[in-house]
């Protein structure tokens, strides 16, 4: 995967700079040349000049003129996504309203309503990942409303994010981490859902390059080393297929392509295997030149040829010809046993399908003209529109719900009458009930899946036929939120619970009123606020509810002062430290303070190590300010890192370790090997005897000739742990040694 090269140390003079800008602008014109209609070129030039003038005093972090960024974004839109002239103009202007003196009225005067609307949408998104977390969810909603109105907004935003990722080298480390996390958390899944697989893949790879640099470099190196033998193998695999295609008079382009570094790494983690054991490092792709009426038939013909030559794995067939994905993706995928006993993934599609796979949404609309049925994209937008317009949430749950509801892969489930419903993977019978209608969802007591009775938490699979069973006595329950995955279900359940809570809270409200009047005070907003603050609750509703269910005893307020009809809580009430109180003075208050260093006994910084990832000195880490707990140190590849960095970037403190051999840190490894006499002895002798490392706990389970061991031990730093892993691997009969991933460390 190529990334755009940065100008090494930016030192061009004014004349050279002008030439560079002009060269980039001409290269953009070349890309859009075939799409230009009369009058378009003048409009593009106006947008370019307007943007260049507005940004003329601005520089990127690398030192280069800012205008190069909008030009690059416009080029990605046109060349890599296939958008047209309007989008090119919007991309050139995308930062002007937010960063310069140009207003939306100026843009409207020059370019009209449509372009103004898109630029306005892009300006709203500009602050999406905000310092205020709930504000972020609100802004994200705005994006999605704009997306359903005009998806070009999102496509231009994705181009903008991709260019930022390609030029992230000149940013500070903590900025790189924050931007990479947001990319993996929100933008890559969105690109995937828009059908932009190439862009999604590049975003994930670039994010990994910054979040897990060592692993990234290692896999890239191994891919480069094995390239020659891979190419040889691919050619050997393809030859008999090519011959068959020629005999059948089918025109097809057939080639192999490497999988992305990020997806290889995911496979290694998921399967617990090393690079050498990841069988599908590449996929073979057959792209057919077929007329529309023969597409499906030809794809199945090619499938038949491939499976005649190589044995397929029956459970690995994916038929997206009969049931395309919601983002329009169509293809046949199969995995076959190739030469030398290696599994190979094969993707079969036509040129039209390939364009939709590469360019996603933009290509989808190109082919949509003349189609009679409502597209799945339109249905998807309709679902999003419904959830956003009806949901009253301002919480961060919104982002998480959106990810699980709309950015996941989907399954197809049938109603008793045979209508198809599209739901995200992991959906339950209750999600299906809410998808039919909210009123049905809240009354659901069970379901029949393929005519068998199942509980409402039953997870559905593609092809299931579902019948919902309801009862008028049923009420929504808090537990339901634990297993539903769709935004619609979660929103409706929360609404129903809130309604229920309000009814109960009414009793609590009268109890509070009686208590206050007994003290000579009234049920005023000031007095309610004092009580909410005193009991550390979130809202009036919470206060009344907790009183009603007897979790709060109002006798506690006997120490309050009364002035007129107002009450005043005794001060000081607040026991929490302000979020930076625990930091030494030289760090607090400085935005770009030097790295906080951990591990030296002289340090007085209060910090703790995150249980979710158990960092040790030498790990790539960041500090995170947790309310009430001070500073917590996480590894950058912690499973929670992307969420924390993307949602709460303002709480991140850049962090590194100091060399210190006095303090030991708890970590763990898991070992797999041949169950041999004396194997435990060999392992403990090496760890305790030779390497002098303290073992905290050791468990070994043997089963049918294999053993699995879990060892908790104390090391000084990552170097010591890496050395231990290598030494264990060199023992005879040891198959694999891995550091425990995060919270898996057994207690």
22: CATH = 1.10.3210.10
Is residue 540 located within the same domain as residue 476?
no
Q: What stretch of H or E contains 262? A: helix 261-271
Mean pLDDT of 129-146: 50
Asked whether residue 173 is assigned to any structural domain, the reply reads: yes
Asked whether residue 370 is assigned to any structural domain, the reply reads: no
- pTM, entire model: 0.63
Give the residue from 471, 166, 462, 522 showing the smallest Cα distance to 319.
Answer: 462
Tens digits of residue pLDDT in 524-536:
888 888 788 777 7
Is residue 195 located within the same domain as residue 309?
no
Q: What is the domain-level CATH number for residue 676?
A: 3.30.70.260
The parent domain of residue 624 ranges over 596-657
Asked whether residue 371 is assigned to any structural domain, the reply reads: no
**Last residue of a domain, which of 365, 390, 416?**
365
Is residue 117 located within the same domain as residue 188?
yes
- How confident is residue 581, by pLDDT bands cut at 50, 70 and 90? very low
Q: Decide if pLDDT at 426 tops 80.
A: yes
Contact 644, 219 (CB under 8 A): no
- How confident is residue 134, by pLDDT bands cut at 50, 70 and 90? very low
Mean pLDDT of 206-219: 90
The tally of domains found in the chain comes to 6
Tens digits of residue pLDDT in 311-368:
988 878 888 888 887 767 889 999 899 888 888 889 999 998 888 877 766 665 555 4
Strands 621-626, 652-657: pairing kind: antiparallel
Quote the DSSP letter at residue 685.
I
Euclidean distance between CA atoms 716 and 711, whole angstroms: 16
- How confident is residue 300, by pLDDT bands cut at 50, 70 and 90? very high
Mean pLDDT of 385-389: 57
Is residue 442 located within the same domain as residue 464?
yes
Is residue 37 located within the same domain as residue 127?
yes
Q: What is the domain-level CATH number for residue 288?
A: 3.30.460.10
Tens digits of residue pLDDT in 65-91:
889 999 999 999 888 888 888 889 999
Most confident by average pLDDT, 184-188, 689-693, 743-747: 689-693
Is residue 464 located within the same domain as residue 511?
no
Can you give the pLDDT at residue 403? Answer: 56
Contact 691, 727 (CB under 8 A): yes
Can you give the pLDDT at residue 320? Answer: 86
Start-to-end CA span in the chain (Å):
41
Is residue 242 located within the same domain as residue 320?
yes
Euclidean distance between CA atoms 287 and 302, whole angstroms: 10
Mean pLDDT of 212-241: 89
Can you give the pLDDT at residue 125? Answer: 59
Euclidean distance between CA atoms 712 and 695, whole angstroms: 6
Can you give the pLDDT at residue 131? Answer: 39
**Last residue of a domain, which of 657, 685, 701?**
657
Mean pLDDT of 408-426: 79
Euclidean distance between CA atoms 511 and 528, whole angstroms: 12
Asked whether residue 8 is assigned to any structural domain, the reply reads: no
Mean of pLDDT over the chain = 78
Q: What is the domain-level CATH number for residue 438?
A: 3.10.20.30
Is residue 421 located within the same domain as residue 477?
yes
Contact 156, 90 (CB under 8 A): yes
- How confident is residue 279, by pLDDT bands cut at 50, 70 and 90? low
| Cβ neighbours around 24 below 10 Å, total | 16
For residues 743 and 660, which has the higher predicted lDDT (pLDDT)?
660
Can you give the pLDDT at residue 174? Answer: 81
Which of 99, 280, 358, 603 is flagged as catalytic? 99
Q: Decide if pLDDT at 223 tops 60.
A: yes
Which of 98, 397, 467, 495 is flagged as catalytic? 98
Mean pLDDT of 181-190: 81
Asked whether residue 2 is assigned to any structural domain, the reply reads: no
Contact 294, 288 (CB under 8 A): no
Can you give the pLDDT at residue 130? Answer: 41
Is residue 140 located within the same domain as residue 32?
yes
Asked whether residue 302 is assigned to any structural domain, the reply reads: yes
Mean pLDDT of 194-219: 88
Can you give the pLDDT at residue 507? Answer: 83
Sorted by sequence, the CB contacts under 8 Å of residue 423 that are 6+ apart come out as 410, 411, 413, 431, 432, 435, 460, 486
Asked whether residue 4 is assigned to any structural domain, the reply reads: no
For residues 584 and 148, which has the higher predicted lDDT (pLDDT)?
148
**Last residue of a domain, which of 494, 526, 553?**
494
229 counts as catalytic:
no
Contact 360, 194 (CB under 8 A): yes
98 counts as catalytic:
yes
Q: Decide if pLDDT at 627 tops 90.
A: no
Is residue 144 located within the same domain as residue 273?
no
Asked whether residue 609 is assigned to any structural domain, the reply reads: yes
Can you give the pLDDT at residue 593? Answer: 43
Is residue 195 located within the same domain as residue 105?
yes
Is residue 400 located within the same domain as residue 508?
no
């Amino acid at each position: 995967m190529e990334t755009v090269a940065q100008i090494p140390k930016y030192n061009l003079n004014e004349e050279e700079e002008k030439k560079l800008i002009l060269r980039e602008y001409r290269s953009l014109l070349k890309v859009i040349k075939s799409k230009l209609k009369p009058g378009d070129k003048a409009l593009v030039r106006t947008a370019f000049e307007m943007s260049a003038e507005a940004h003329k005093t601005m520089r990127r972090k690398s030192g280069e003129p800012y205008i190069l960024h909008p030009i690059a974004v416009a080029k990605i839109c046109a060349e890599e996504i296939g958008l047209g002239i309007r989008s090119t103009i919007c991309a050139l202007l995308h930062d002007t309203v937010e960063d310069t003196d140009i207003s939306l009225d100026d843009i409207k005067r020059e370019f009209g309503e449509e372009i103004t609307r898109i630029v306005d949408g892009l300006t709203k998104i500009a602050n999406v990942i905000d310092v205020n977390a709930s504000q972020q969810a609100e802004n994200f909603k705005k994006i999605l409303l704009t997306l359903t109105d005009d998806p070009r907004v999102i496509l231009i935003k994705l181009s903008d994010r991709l260019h930022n990722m390609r030029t992230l080298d000149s940013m500070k480390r903590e900025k790189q981490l924050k931007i990479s996390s947001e990319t993996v958390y929100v933008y890559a899944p969105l690109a995937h859902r828009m059908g932009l697989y190439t862009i999604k893949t590049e975003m994930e790879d670039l994010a990994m390059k910054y979040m897990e640099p060592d692993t990234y470099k290692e896999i890239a190196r191994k891919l480069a080393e094995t390239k020659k033998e891979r190419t040889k193998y691919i050619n050997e695999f393809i030859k008999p297929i090519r011959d068959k295609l020629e005999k059948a008079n089918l025109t097809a382009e057939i080639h192999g392509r490497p999988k992305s570094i990020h997806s290889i790494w995911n496979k290694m983690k998921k399967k617990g295997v090393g690079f050498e054991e990841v069988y599908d490092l590449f996929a073979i792709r057959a792209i057919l030149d077929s007329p529309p009426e023969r597409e499906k038939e030809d794809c199945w013909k090619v499938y038949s040829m491939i499976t005649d030559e190589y044995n397929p794995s029956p459970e690995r067939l994916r038929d997206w010809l009969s049931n395309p994905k919601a983002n329009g993706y169509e293809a046949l995928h199969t995995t076959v046993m190739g030469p030398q006993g290696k599994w190979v993934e094969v993707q079969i599609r036509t040129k039209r399908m390939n364009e939709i796979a590469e360019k996603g949404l933009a290509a989808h609309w190109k082919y949509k003209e003349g189609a009679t049925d409502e597209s799945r994209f339109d249905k998807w937008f309709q679902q999003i529109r419904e959830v956003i317009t009806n949901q009253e949430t301002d919480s961060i749950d919104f982002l998480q719900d959106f990810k699980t509801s709309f950015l996941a892969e989907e399954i197809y489930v049938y109603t008793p009458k045979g209508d198809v419903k599209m739901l995200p993977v992991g959906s339950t019978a209750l999600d299906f009930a809410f998808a039919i209608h909210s009123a049905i969802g809240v009354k659901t007591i069970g379901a029949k899946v393929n005519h068998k009775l199942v509980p409402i938490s039953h997870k559905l699979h593609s092809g299931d036929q579902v019948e919902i069973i309801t009862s008028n006595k049923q009420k929504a329950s808090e537990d339901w939120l634990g297993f539903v995955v769709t935004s619609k279900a979660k929103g409706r359940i929360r609404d129903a619970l809130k309604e229920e809570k309000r009814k109960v809270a009414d009793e609590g409200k009268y109890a509070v009123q009686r208590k206050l009047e007994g003290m000579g005070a009234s049920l005023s907003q000031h007095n309610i606020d004092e009580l909410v603050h005193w009991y550390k609750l979130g809202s009036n509703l919470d206060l009344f509810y907790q009183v009603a269910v007897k979790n709060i005893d109002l006798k506690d307020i006997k120490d309050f002062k009364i002035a007129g009809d107002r009450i005043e809580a005794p001060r000081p009430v607040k026991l929490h430290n302000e979020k930076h109180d625990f930091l030494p003075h030289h760090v607090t208050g400085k935005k770009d303070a030097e790295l906080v260093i951990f591990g030296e006994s002289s340090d007085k910084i209060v910090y703790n190590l995150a249980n979710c990832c158990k960092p040790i000195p030498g790990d790539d880490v960041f500090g995170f300010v947790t309310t009430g707990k001070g500073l917590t140190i996480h590894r950058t590849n912690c499973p929670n890192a992307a969420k924390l960095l993307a949602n709460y970037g303002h709480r991140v403190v850049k962090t590194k370790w100091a060399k210190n051999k006095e303090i030991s840190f708890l970590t763990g490894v898991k070992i797999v090997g041949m169950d041999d006499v004396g194997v435990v002895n060999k392992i403990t002798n090496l760890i305790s005897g030779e390497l002098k490392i303290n073992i905290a706990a050791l468990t070994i389970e043997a089963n049918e000739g294999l053993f699995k061991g879990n060892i908790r031990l104390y090391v000084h730093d990552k170097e010591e742990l890496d050395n231990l892993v290598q030494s264990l691997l060199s023992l005879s009969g040891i198959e694999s040694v891995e550091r425990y991933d995060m919270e898996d460390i057994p207690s």
